Amino acid sequence: MSACIRLLETQRSLERRCTDFCDSLHPERTVQLADLVSDPAAPQKLGIDHWFDQNLFRRRIRSGWQFLTGLPGELPRKVPLVFYQRTDPEEDRLEFARRFEFRNFRRRFASAPAEASYLMPFTNFSAGLAGTKEDRDRRIMPLMKFSSRVSLTSADARCAEELQDTCVFGYPAYDLPTVLGVSGSVATDYMAREIVHDLGHAWLPPVVHDAEPIHDAIMVRAMKASPLRTYRDDWERIVHLECTSPIFFATGMPLLESYMSQGQHDDHALFLAEMLVEHLRKTAGPKQRLALWTLPQQQVGRSVEHRVNLIMDTVIERGFARYGNQVELH
Ligand SMILES: [Zn+2]
């Protein structure tokens, strides 16, 4: 059976297990992952059909799923049900204005559109939803993502009670190419990377914060994306490498520095570039994290790609045994 069919079957059986919950989601704004990879009408329902590349998205999700199901062992109990929801720009604008009251937020997002809060380094997950079960209009909170796995406040407890043991993720669908300044296919890869990354978290052993870059690189590699032949500009190339190249943590900073030093960029472009710089610093900056990528002595002199692949293979071979701590390779 192909990985894609297995993915669809797993998602459908989770939908059946959570029928009441799925029925309570806003019907005009919600699309299940199984539909997003298989139903040609799904992107239009999410309002992303003018840029979303459904074939490309399906290929990436399938590769990620193939990697995870190819690992030894049973399908874990916590395989998540995934849904997407069309965002409402007006709700986002109001939430953005509310957050703008806070000085730190204002300083950081002064030149950003509201939807920038959805980009990967910034988003927060909520275990609560707007709307009610009775009105069947439940929606992901504006500028948030939904995860039934995050710790609960009493207001959120109702969803978790309904879902009991099932893990559910909800993602916003918005005009990603405009927010990110890239083409539709690059935005599709960016969108696929996020879910493949999160599927890995639901699947694999818990990752300590310092090992998160290794998790990210392993899941990016699992998507099996190649660089495009041409990009519309340097920025698009950088964004695409960031979400498809497992060695970006080691090669991205010079690219970003050179991009930022050339020519005039508008405030939005600089905001986005700084976002990636910050993300990279978190990924590979502090010494203790760099130590995770320490390489066996005999490998010095080999290419970055070779060495990074070796580290990832070792982590996988050892059954992610040291995923929760420093990776020992000596
Ligand atoms: Zn992560």
Residues 6 or more apart whose CB falls under 8 angstroms from that of 38 comprise 8, 58
Distance (angstroms) between ligand 1 centre and the Cα of 245 equals 16
> Which of these three, 204, 226, 261, is where a domain ends?
204
* 68 in the same domain as 26: yes
> Which of these three, 204, 221, 248, is where a domain ends?
204
Distance (angstroms) between ligand 1 centre and the Cα of 221 equals 14
Higher pLDDT, 4 or 197: 197
pLDDT digits (tens, 9 = 90+) for 198-228: 999 888 888 877 778 888 999 999 999 999 9
Distance (angstroms) between ligand 1 centre and the Cα of 190 equals 14
Measured distance CA(136)–CA(61) in Å, rounded? 29
Residue 107, class by beta-carbon neighbours within 10 Å (0-12 exposed, 13-18 middle, 19+ buried)? exposed
Q: What are phi and psi of 234, to 5 degrees?
A: -60, -35
With a pLDDT cut of 90, the percent of the chain lying above it is 52
Q: Over 60: is that where the pLDDT of 4 sits? A: yes
Residues 6 or more apart whose CB falls under 8 angstroms from that of 286 comprise none
Distance (angstroms) between ligand 1 centre and the Cα of 254 equals 24
Distance (angstroms) between ligand 1 centre and the Cα of 135 equals 33
Measured distance CA(295)–CA(278) in Å, rounded? 24
Residue count of the chain: 330
What integer pLDDT is reported at residue 144 of this predicted model?
94
226 dihedral zone (left: phi>0; alpha: psi -120 to 50; beta): beta
* 293 in the same domain as 168: no
Distance (angstroms) between ligand 1 centre and the Cα of 255 equals 23
**Cβ count near 215 (within 10 Å):** 21
Distance (angstroms) between ligand 1 centre and the Cα of 197 equals 6
* 243 in the same domain as 222: yes
* 74 in the same domain as 99: yes
Measured distance CA(258)–CA(263) in Å, rounded? 10
* 215 in the same domain as 200: no
> Which of these three, 160, 182, 204, is where a domain ends?
204
Distance (angstroms) between ligand 1 centre and the Cα of 201 equals 6
**Cβ count near 286 (within 10 Å):** 11
* 217 in the same domain as 87: no
Distance (angstroms) between ligand 1 centre and the Cα of 195 equals 10
In angstroms, what CA-CA distances link 52 with 76, 86, 239, 242?
30, 13, 16, 19
**pLDDT bucket at 176, cuts 50 / 70 / 90:** very high
* 243 in the same domain as 138: no
Distance (angstroms) between ligand 1 centre and the Cα of 226 equals 22
**pLDDT bucket at 330, cuts 50 / 70 / 90:** very low
* 190 in the same domain as 73: yes
How many domains are contained in the chain? 2
What integer pLDDT is reported at residue 316 of this predicted model?
87
What integer pLDDT is reported at residue 154 of this predicted model?
55
* 159 in the same domain as 223: no
What integer pLDDT is reported at residue 285 of this predicted model?
58
pLDDT digits (tens, 9 = 90+) for 216-264: 999 999 999 999 999 999 999 999 999 999 988 888 889 999 999 987 7
Range of the domain at 252: 208-330
* 234 in the same domain as 174: no
Distance (angstroms) between ligand 1 centre and the Cα of 84 equals 19
Residues 6 or more apart whose CB falls under 8 angstroms from that of 116 comprise 109, 122, 179, 271, 272, 275
**pLDDT bucket at 294, cuts 50 / 70 / 90:** low
pLDDT digits (tens, 9 = 90+) for 50-93: 999 999 999 999 999 999 988 876 666 678 999 999 999 999 99
25 beta partners: 138
Distance (angstroms) between ligand 1 centre and the Cα of 269 equals 25
* 163 in the same domain as 113: yes
Higher pLDDT, 301 or 305: 305
- Least Cα distance to 219 among 325, 82, 81, 64 occurs for 64
**Cβ count near 59 (within 10 Å):** 19
Distance (angstroms) between ligand 1 centre and the Cα of 246 equals 14
Measured distance CA(70)–CA(173) in Å, rounded? 29
Q: What are phi and psi of 256, to 5 degrees?
A: -65, -40
* 223 in the same domain as 146: no
E strands in 156-208? 168-173
Tokens for 192, please give them: 């696929």
